[in-house]
Structure 1
Amino acid sequence: MDRSAESLSRAIGMRVNQERKGRGWTLDQLAELAGVSRRMLVNVEQGGVNPSIGTLLRLSDALGVGLPALVEPPALRAVKVVRAGEGAVLWTGPSGGRGILVAGTESPDVVELWDWTLAPGERHESEAHSDGTRELLQVLEGSLTVLIESEGHELNTGDALTFRSDVPHSYVNPFALPTRFTLAVFEPGVGAGHRAENTNA
């Protein structure tokens, strides 16, 4: 891990630990709710691993805080400016592509804004998000293929796509030039299921 990735991993680990302890949950309880192994959770909390976006989404949903809350400190201000280069790099491709979370809102209805680049031949596979999640994306440079379950959609510069992302989906660049796209993710009711379970316990 480079220094910025190491710093981000430590910040995520501290936030997960803080949120878990604030709820009085053991490592085993959070691991079970999130569907991750206890070992992975320990590594995340210790900042010793750069967790996948899928793992972060499972943890954020289990904690009911939304992904943006795990990668940045709590903000007391009504306005937050993220300067160029300050977004959280949560995915790095083998040829230099990056998935950067540049902004997000708090739960329960979480909106995330991403800046993605995929080098030629790169692909990012995403597991199904929670029920009701929607994504909107627009290609800013190059071309992109979005696979939603088994259906492919080829997009060129300026094209946009809206889809339900509560099914498996992938972003693929099978072309000879890099592609860049902006992505907004709307995830309603983050953590609501777990809150309901805890209320009824």
Structure 2
Amino acid sequence: MEMDAQLLARAVGARVKHERKTRGWTLDRLADTAGISRRMLINVEQGAANPSVATLLHLSEALGVGLPALVEPPSERQAKLTRRGEGALLWSGERGGQARLVAGADRPDNVELWDWSLAPGDRHESTAHTPGTRELLQVQHGILRVHTGEESYELGPGDALSFHGDQPHAYVNDSSETTHFVLTVVEPSLGRSGGKESSHE
């Protein structure tokens, strides 16, 4: 069953608040460390906001907690099954595209597995991730254009691309049919604060 947006917002808020209080951080400290406004952080913790992927990534980096851990309840099971259509829906395109975080791990590095669809005309802009981040994707259906840095790549069904995610990049579907691709993000744990005083910037 698809994770309801309101339930997801509440789960994220509870996890962020728990992680912040565990570290003894004030709202101001986490907001400053994550580079978001205090008001946004309050809304996130209260489950009153559906934060963007960028906001979630900022919070993830500031707390040293992998994005999958922020959007999933803790589990002691060694295996987690996610059926087709399930997973945390973290992005919706204006034309109908979607991005779901379907699996992840945060030890030793943060690894995310995403299921993406881009409707015709959909475009997703992504800010630079933590230094050393790599993204690996494979197109399952349709045509995908990936912009990374000064380069642009066009991929068709079965084509794969690996690139540095620590620079601004974009996924674009300028074709007339829906594009579907799977994406893996590998973010090194080095540089994430994890509650320590070291900088994550």
Query: Same-fold call, TM > 0.5?
Result: yes
TM-score for both structures, normalised by structure 2: 0.93
Count of matched residue positions in the alignment of Structure 1 and Structure 2: 198
Residue of structure 1 in register with 2:48 after alignment: 48
- Shifted more, 101-110 versus 120-129: the winner is 101-110
Could you tell me whether the CA contact under 8 Å between 1:64 and 1:108 is conserved in 2? no
Could you tell me whether the CA contact under 8 Å between 1:97 and 1:116 is conserved in 2? yes
Residue of structure 2 in register with 1:165 after alignment: 165
What is the CA distance between 1:85 and its match in structure 2? Answer: 2.5
Residues 84-103 of structure 1: matches in 2 within 5 Å?
84-103=84-103
CA distance in 1, matches of 2:76, 2:191: 21
Q: Secondary structure at the match of 1:47?
A: coil
- Shifted more, 77-86 versus 19-28: the winner is 77-86
Quick check: 1:131 aligned with 2:137? no
What is the CA distance between 1:192 and its match in structure 2? Answer: 3.5
Residues 1-201 of structure 1: matches in 2 within 5 Å?
4-189=4-189, 192-193=192-193, 195-197=195-197
CA distance in 1, matches of 2:171, 2:198: 36
Structure-2 change in CA distance of 1:106 and 1:194 (3 Å): closer
User: Deviation above 6 Å: which 4+ runs of structure 1?
Assistant: none
Structure-2 change in CA distance of 1:134 and 1:187 (3 Å): same
TM-score for both structures, normalised by structure 1: 0.93
Could you tell me whether the CA contact under 8 Å between 2:68 and 2:106 is conserved in 1? yes
Q: Which letter does structure 1 place at the counterpart of 2:94?
A: P
Root-mean-square deviation over aligned CA pairs: 1.8
Q: Which structure has greater helix proportion?
A: 1
**Identity across the alignment (%):** 60
- Shifted more, 80-89 versus 161-170: the winner is 80-89
CA distance in 2, matches of 1:193, 1:23: 11
5+ residue gaps, structure 2, are none
Q: Which letter does structure 1 place at the counterpart of 2:100?
A: I
Structure-2 change in CA distance of 1:105 and 1:166 (3 Å): same
CA distance in 2, matches of 1:192, 1:107: 12
Could you tell me whether the CA contact under 8 Å between 1:62 and 1:191 is conserved in 2? no
Q: Which letter does structure 1 place at the counterpart of 2:63?
A: L
Structure-2 change in CA distance of 1:14 and 1:71 (3 Å): same
CA distance in 2, matches of 1:194, 1:9: 22
Q: Secondary structure at the match of 1:100?
A: strand
Could you tell me whether the CA contact under 8 Å between 2:5 and 2:89 is conserved in 1? yes
What is the CA distance between 1:193 and its match in structure 2? Answer: 4.0
CA distance in 1, matches of 2:168, 2:18: 30
Could you tell me whether the CA contact under 8 Å between 1:82 and 1:102 is conserved in 2? yes
Q: Secondary structure at the match of 2:197?
A: helix
What is the CA distance between 1:82 and its match in structure 2? Answer: 1.6
- Give CA deviations for 1:111-167 in whole Å, capped at 9, x if unaligned: 100000000000000000000000000000000000002311000111000000000
CA distance in 2, matches of 1:171, 1:188: 22
Q: Which letter does structure 1 place at the counterpart of 2:82?
A: V
